[in-house]
Amino acid sequence: MDNKLLLKKYTNRRLYDTEKSIYVTLDYVTNVIRQGRQIVVVDAKTGEDVTAAILTQIVLEEARKKNYLLPNPMLYLIIQYGETVLSEFFEKYLEQIVKNYLLFRNMADDQYQKWLDLSTTYSQVSPQTLNSLLPFKSLFNAFSGNLDEPAKTKKEEDQ
């Protein structure tokens, strides 16, 4: 069984967590999702899957709190082309684009951490390796606690 949380939506708009046997709020559901868990929401009376409606409601609630997810031009496009061009794009491509972005960001963060680690231990690196990294020395020094040269202030650079 996958790790999806089953919620039931009742006609009074209340959501019921079937695992914990409690009624929950949209904020609760938002936190569950932010923790990496997926949800499935079914109408308690009909059994219809209403997950998309609840997820859309969460996005709208976040926008009311000034946590805008989408810029206005994107919202206009969604309204203008919603059931034609964009629905295919969202279904086929947007999810993969976001996943690739997150993968790239994690890879970049890992590489950046390696550079920081290298900058703090460059005295232990072979001279040949160190010479190949000389063009990046100022970058490494900018982020290490061991600076050979103090960073110049904006005022010093202008002089």
Note down the domain range covering 42: 5-69
Q: How far apart are alpha carbons 61 and 26 in whole angstroms?
A: 8
Answer yes or no: is 122 within a domain. no
Q: Nearest-CA neighbor of 140 among 120, 154, 125?
A: 120
Q: Total domain count for the chain? A: 1
Answer yes or no: is 124 within a domain. no
Whole-angstrom distance between the N-terminal and C-terminal Cα of the chain? 67
In this prediction, residue 152 carries a pLDDT of 53
The pLDDT tens digits of the residues spanning 105-133 come to 888 888 888 877 766 665 566 667 767 76
Answer yes or no: is 86 within a domain. no
Q: What is the CATH number of the domain that holds 53?
A: 3.40.1170
Tokens of 129: 């390796």
Mean predicted confidence (pLDDT) in 82-107: 82
Q: How far is CA 116 from the centre of its chain?
A: 23
Record the pTM.
Answer: 0.54
Answer yes or no: is 33 within a domain. yes
Q: Looking at residue 14, what DSSP letter applies?
A: -
In single-letter form, the type of residue at position 29 comes to V
Q: What rounded mean pLDDT belongs to the chain?
A: 79
Q: How far apart are alpha carbons 86 and 21 in whole angstroms?
A: 38
Answer yes or no: is 9 within a domain. yes
Answer yes or no: is 140 within a domain. no
